[in-house]
Amino acid sequence: MTKSGTSESDKQVVLEPGERPTLKTIARLSGLAVPTVSRALSDAPDIGKDTKERVREIAKQIGYRPNRAGVRLRTGRTNVISVVMSTEHDAMNNTGQLIAAITSALRGTPYHVIITPYFADEDPMVPIRYIVETGSADGLILNQTEPDDPRVRYLMEHKFPFVAHGRTELAEPHAYFDYDNTAFGSLAVDALVARGRSRIAILAPPQTQMYAIHMVAGARAAAEAHGVTVSVLEGATSHSSVADVEAAMRAVYGKADRPDGLIAPSIGGCVTMVSTFEQMGLVLERDFDMAAKEALSFLRRFRPGILVLEENADEAGGYLARAVMDRISHPETSPMQKLVYPDANAWKVAPEHAAPRAKTQN
C-alpha cells in the first residue's frame, strides 16, 4: 500500500497499489456514499461544512481530480469558467492581476479558468458565440462593456451565466462589478484644480466603452463646476500604443492652450504622458500635474508627485468569480451587482508633494 498523507485525525490516507484516485476512493477512505462525496465536492447546500472539509482534505491528499468528460456526462457541466479578454491592453494594466484574483477566488471550488482571447481586428462576438454554442464553459466573465452591448444581449437571450466587469445601459439587469469612473473623472479634475491647474487633458479609453463615457462625463461636469476646461486627448486612447500616445502628447505640446493638468486611467498611459512632456523640457509639479489610477503600486515610485487613486483588482476579481458562480448555481435569483466608489481622500502622494500650489505660468 502507498501512503499519500495523513488526515486531520492523524489517520493514514492510503491508496491501493496502482489505484487511481476516484470518487469511489474518497468514499472508501471517508466511509461515505459516493453520491454524498460527489455533492460535498460540488459544495451542495445540504451537505454539512465538516463533511465538505473532510472530503476535500482526503481529495487533496490523494491527488483527486474530477474527470471533466465524466462530469459533463453526468451533470451537463464542464466545471470551466471562461474569462474573455481583449489582447489590445498594454502589459502594465491590471489584466494579469485581475485574472490572478479570479483564479484565487475559484480555488477550492470545482471550477477551473480558461482565458479566451480576442483580437482588436476580430468581432468580439466570435468567442462569445463559440462558448455558448459549444458549451465549452459553464459561465463566462467579460469586460470592456458598451452601452448597448451585443455580447450582453446575446448572453441574456440565451440565458447563459455571465458577469460583466462594467455596466451597460440595457434595461434588463445583469450581473456586474464596476469601478465608478464618473467619480474618478470628477475627483481627478478636483485634485488638479486644487493644484492650480485650469487646462486639463484626459487620455480616455475608447469612447464606445461605458467606462470611458462615465470617466469623461465626470471630468467635464467637474470642470464646468470649477470654471476650467477639460478636453479628450486626440489621436490616442488609453488602449493605444506608446508611440501613438507620445505622438498625441507632442501634438498638444506646441499649442497656446497646452494642457497643464493631465488625467490617465492606466499606469502605461500615465507613464507615457509624463515622460513625453519631460522629454519636451517640462517639469512635473511645476509646468504640469498628473492624476491617474492604478491597480499596482507603481506610479509613486516612478514620480512621487503624481496624484494616484487605487483601483482594487483583487476585489474586482474576487467579486466577478463569486458572481459568475452565483449565476451558474442560482440563475433564477437577482444577479449580483456591485459599484465601487473611489475615496476622495485616498489620493496617494508623498507628503512633501501633498500641499496645493498656485499655478505656475507656462
pLDDT digits (tens, 9 = 90+) for 187-200: 999 999 999 999 99
Of the candidates 75, 78, 206, the residue with the CA atom closest to the CA atom of residue 144: 206
Q: What pLDDT does 60 receive?
A: 81
Grid coordinates in use for 354?
A: 501633498
**pLDDT tens per residue, range 124-160:** 999 999 999 999 999 999 999 999 999 999 999 999 9
14 pLDDT band, cuts 50/70/90, is low
In the predicted model, is pLDDT for residue 109 greater than 90?
Answer: no
DSSP state of 180: -
In the predicted model, is pLDDT for residue 343 greater than 90?
Answer: no
In the predicted model, is pLDDT for residue 7 greater than 70?
Answer: no
Average pLDDT of the chain is 87
Where is pLDDT greater, at 226 or 72?
226
* Angle, in degrees to the nearest 10, between helices 242-253 and 267-279: 40
Q: 61-65, 72-76, 264-268, 332-336: which has the minimum mean pLDDT?
A: 72-76
In the predicted model, is pLDDT for residue 353 greater than 80?
Answer: no
Q: What pLDDT does 62 receive?
A: 82
In the predicted model, is pLDDT for residue 293 greater than 90?
Answer: yes
265 pLDDT band, cuts 50/70/90, is very high
**pLDDT tens per residue, range 220-256:** 999 999 999 999 999 999 999 999 999 999 999 989 9
In the predicted model, is pLDDT for residue 63 greater than 90?
Answer: no
Q: Rounded distance, CA 130 to CA 114, Å?
A: 14
Mean pLDDT along residues 80-104: 80
In the predicted model, is pLDDT for residue 16 greater than 90?
Answer: no
Mean pLDDT along residues 319-329: 96
Q: Rounded distance, CA 269 to CA 9, Å?
A: 54
In the predicted model, is pLDDT for residue 357 greater than 60?
Answer: no
Q: Which of helix, strand or coil describes residue 259?
A: coil
C-beta separation of 190 from 344 below 8 A: yes
- Based on C-alpha coordinates, what's the Rg of the chain? 25
